[in-house]
Every structure is written in C-alpha cells, then in structure tokens.
A and B are shown apart, each in its own frame.
Chain A
C-alpha cells in the first residue's frame, strides 16, 4: 500500500513537473539555508574554540582601563599598562605558585618589516618565552624563542602564518625556507627562528611578528615609555594552574594593580580583566544569535513553503475530485485517500528538502575546500532539515488530504 502510494505520488509530481518545482521552492530555500548556515556557523564556532582550546580557559588577560568609563579620571595616559604593572604582577604571581603558572607581556608596535625586497606593514608583539602557554601559537617550522634569548633581548623573531607568506611567499617550501633568514625592522636585522602555523580566525597570531619583549623595547620601539612608568604594554597575559582558580586569581591581580597604582578605596579600576571564558561566551553568543536569526529566517521560509504545499494540494484535490470518486468506488477507504494525499504532500516537501540539502552540501564543501576548513558539514542540520520537511508535509498536507478523504463517493463521481 505505502509503496503504491509513494509511486502514485511520484507519478503525479512527474505529471506536473514545473508546478511541483515551484511549490518546492520555499522548502528548497529553507532547507539549504538551514544546512549551509548551521554548517558554516558551526565551523566558525569551531575556529573560535580552536584558538582558545590549547589554553583551555585557564588564562586571564589584563588590559588598559577605559578612559571613557564612568568614574575614570581624566589624565593623560589614564589606565595604560606599563612595565611597572608587569613587574608588580610578576612578583605577586611568584608568591602564589599553586595559582599562577606563567605571566607574559604583550608590547605591540606597528612597524614596516622588510625581507630581501618585500616590505609590509606588520605588528610586532614583544613577549616572553612563556607566550605559548597563554596563546595559541603552534610553531610549524623552526622553534619558539628561548628563555635565554628572551633574557638577552636577542635579535630573533617568530613569524605569524600570514606574515611569513607576505614576506617570503606562499607554500610550505617558502615557509620552511624562511627559517634562518633575516627580517629587517626599523633598521634592525632579526633572525627568523620559527614560523607559526596559520590558524585563521580573529585571535590567531597569523598577522604578528613575535619577538622577545626586551628586543621590542630596546631595538624596535625607540622610546615607547610612559612618562615615569617605563615601557608601555598593550596587555599582560597570566596563565593559571587551573580553571577553578579564576576568581581567586582575579582578586589577587586586581589588588596588586590597585596597590601598585595607588588607587583610592572608592576609585574604579583603571584596568580591565578579561578571562577567555567571558570572551568565548560572548563570541559564542554573537555567533549563536546570528546563526539563530538566519535559522529562523530559514524556518520561516520552510513554513511559507508549507503553505505553498497546502495551496497546491488543495488545487490537486479539486482537480482530482473525479479520481477520488473513482478510487472510492473501487474500494478506497477514507484513510486510503487521506494517506495518498498526505504522502503526496510529504513527497513534495522531502524532495524539496533533499534538493535544498544537496545544494547546501555542495556549497559548504566548496567553501570548506577553498578555505581549507576540513569536514564542517553539520549532520544534525541535515537531520533537522529532513525532520522539519517531513513535519511540514504532514502538517500542511493533512487538511487538503482530509478534505479529499471526506468527499462522498457519489458527489466526487458526479463532479465535472
């Protein structure tokens, strides 16, 4: 019976190919949007995760205070971080080895960098050898700089994945060959000791030139000192022993900074603390909101598709009133007729959904291949699409089918 009804449904779709395709359009668009958006949204989220994953969530970033924040004093250099803050924190963290794992500065300097004949704008980040413990910097060729190089402010550098491509050319051979070459920044020649794997995403080190903090200060920055406070830092990163210590660590850091900056008891913090759990959640929230919104649009388009199906099924029931009468005369029960038309509606919505999923899969795979993202298809999205299409076929097909089922055989047969 079922096989027969599916066959009959296909038959009637084939008889009205163009009409069926138009009817399916809403479902096609809805399904493809759903699968494409959920797959790409997942991939983006996956990337965000990946840039944090090595660090776990055991990290706190210390950032300059916001001079526009309520309660901020209007002074020049308000809230900026300096090496004094860093030194104070370093001393403090050393006394709590069970809480803190590592502390490194980030000294950011915009520069022109040159290798052989190529010259580009780049961002130098001066930091410590412990940087890898708080930032995702997977070294692809060569190595990261060492503690002694850091201590000596050696003329060494580790290049980000995109920087190396810009300076030395694309492809693994060029990247590998970059190790051992020199990069000239502000007249200083630096030896490339390592190249970081390109990770993509907003948090990677792809666009950065990493050097020891001392090198940045002594050889590149010129004078980037804050009056009376020493070298300016764009941020300070603190690695923790475990995630459970975040609250404790934040309290210690705040206290240390307030003390070293001599803030009065009532004054607001003139610095900001930033744990990855927070930013990860914010990003996930934004990504989720965007994904959710587009998924909602896809859902609406599916529902509109469902209304289209209902419309065409009502037309079909009217067109085929005589057929329904004949079937009933031959012994079709109300349920047989109901089933036939519901299955026809489901067939339209499922085929539409499959076409939509097919095109979305092609699109997503093409994007994944172009962006080197690997397997990012969202199988749950495909399942959701199919289930949704099934539900829409049943939901919007039921009423027309019920009307067909309740036709009296004599009325249906007499219909012209």
Chain B
C-alpha cells in the first residue's frame, strides 16, 4: 500500500481569541489515499473549513502531525509551503476566487506562472485544461462574462493545471443552483474516474455528499463518522458494515 496523499494525525486547532478560546479541531485523525473521493461533512461551525485550511497548507495546526504526500508539513518554511500548494494542491472555492481582471485563460495559467513554466507551455496547458472542462470557446472571456457554473469550471481547470496530488474544494456548489451544482459534481466524478484524481470536498449539502465515495463527518471539531457509501446512499464503515444512511449522518451532524 502506497503512502496516503493526506495523512492527518491527532491534529488539534485552537483559536485563541483571549476570553473565547475555540477548539475548532480536536484530535482529528484521517487519511486519504490516492484516487479517493472524500466529502468532509458536518453542520456549520463543526470545523470543516478549518480542517480544509490545514490540509491546504493555508494554516498550520496547533498540534498534531500532517503528512502531505509523505512530506512532514511542519518542516516546511513559507516558500516551501507555497511550492507545495503550487505543485500538489488544486484549490476550488465556493465563490470561485477568479481574478476579475484576467481572462479565463490567464486565470487558469496563474498557477503555472508561479510554477515558473514558460509562457508558451502555460498557454498550451491552460487551453487544454479549459477544453477539458468544456470551456474551449471561453478562453478570452473575463469572469464577469461567465455564468456561475462556467466560473467554477474555470476554477477547476485552474486547480488541475499543475497536475496536483489532490483537489481541495470548499463548498464548490455553494454558490450554484442545484442543477449546475450537480454538473460540477459530475465533473469531479469524471475527473476521478478517467484520470484518477483525488478529490476532497467540504460540504454541508447531503446531495453533494451522496456523490462522493466516502464521507468524513465532523461535529464540534471531532470526527464522529468516517464511512464509505455506495451510490444509493448507504454508508459503510472501514469494514464494509452498514453504519447509517447519509441523510441521517447529515441530520444527526
């Protein structure tokens, strides 16, 4: 068995705002293997986004260990963190976070700018990525000329363009209507099936969770369930036993 892409061990994250001390993650342990499609679920304030910022190297845990693709992330300085974000992680955000003054092509090329890839190759790869997400005819459009679904496709193209180890998406369908949201989830599914891309999605939406293979459920910073489920909504634990329906997980969470 190869090393997990994401290996979070006993990670705790405490926000210390003087009087109000918040334990956003409490001794969390989880691992994600290459090729998995994982949903991190839980109600608002349960620590999903905090876990995602730790996994995305956007923030550091208060304690515990995070191994990313075999690298102990506590050993990385700021530049090395930037390089890992650039090479190994593809971010997709709820509000897209495209740069408004850049065209779709330029937005998608941005990670390659920071990856020091020559302009000609940048353009070729960015074009290919946009074609792959079905936006081959929107290369020169700026974000304000694109629909929500199209913007999220541009963001996904951008997240893929440096061939990362995994995609990290925080509520990727949160700003989209349900049909478009479904299409975006289908895109993740296709990328996973055809290219074996590892996808971690943070969501509070049961419909989104259903479309993933595995659900990690958080509550008050603690993982209260980590289970596989089939496409029909039956969640099973590591040993394949049926634990509970996804719908219930979410309701309980």
Contact = CB atoms under 8 A, between A and B. Distances in A.
A329 B99 CA distance: 13
Given A15-B101, A326-B97, A333 B114 contact: yes
A329 B78 contact: no
Contact of B58 (A11, A15, A322, A329): A329
B47 interface: no
A331 B85 contact: yes
Interface in A304-336: 322-323, 325-336
A15 B106 CA distance: 16
A186 interface: no
B191 to A, nearest CB: 18
A330 B78 contact: no
Contact of A330 (B53, B91, B101, B119): B91
Nearest to B87: A331
B59 A1 contact: no
A326 B111 contact: no
Nearest to A329: B91
Nearest to B91: A329
Interface string A381-416: 000000000000000000000000000111001000
A330 B158 contact: yes
Contact of A331 (B53, B59, B101, B114): B114
A328 to B, nearest CB: 7
Given A330-B158, A331-B83, A334-B79, A1 B101 contact: no
B78 A333 contact: yes
Contact of A11 (B56, B93, B101): B101
A12 interface: yes
Nearest to A323: B99
B60 to A, nearest CB: 9
B86 interface: yes
B99 A326 contact: yes
A330 B59 contact: no
A330 B58 contact: no
A332 B78 CA distance: 10
Interface in B75-111: 78-79, 82-83, 85-87, 91, 93, 97, 99, 101-102, 110-111
A372 interface: no
Given A1-B116, A410-B53, A329 B110 contact: no
B82 to A, nearest CB: 4
A409 B114 contact: no
A68 to B, nearest CB: 73
B134 interface: no
A171 interface: no
Chain A: number of interface residues, binned into ranges: 20 to 34
B110 A327 contact: yes
A330 B85 contact: yes
Nearest to A4: B113
Interface string B157-185: 01000100000000000000000000000
Contacts of B79: 333-335
B116 A330 contact: no
B86 A12 contact: no
B115 interface: yes
Interface string A1-33: 101100000011001000000000000000000
B58 A1 contact: no
B97 A322 contact: yes
Contacts of A410: 53, 58-59
Nearest to B86: A331
B114 A413 contact: no
Given A327-B114, A331-B85, A3 B58 contact: no
B125 to A, nearest CB: 14
A329 B58 CA distance: 7
Contacts of A330: 85-86, 91, 110-111, 114, 158
20 contacts: A4-B113, A4-B119, A12-B101, A325-B97, A327-B99, A327-B110, A327-B114, A329-B56, A330-B91, A330-B110, A330-B114, A331-B111, A333-B78, A333-B114, A334-B79, A408-B59, A409-B58, A409-B59, A409-B85, A410-B58
Given A326-B99, A331-B162, 5 more contacts: A3-B119, A327-B110, A330-B85, A330-B86, A413-B97
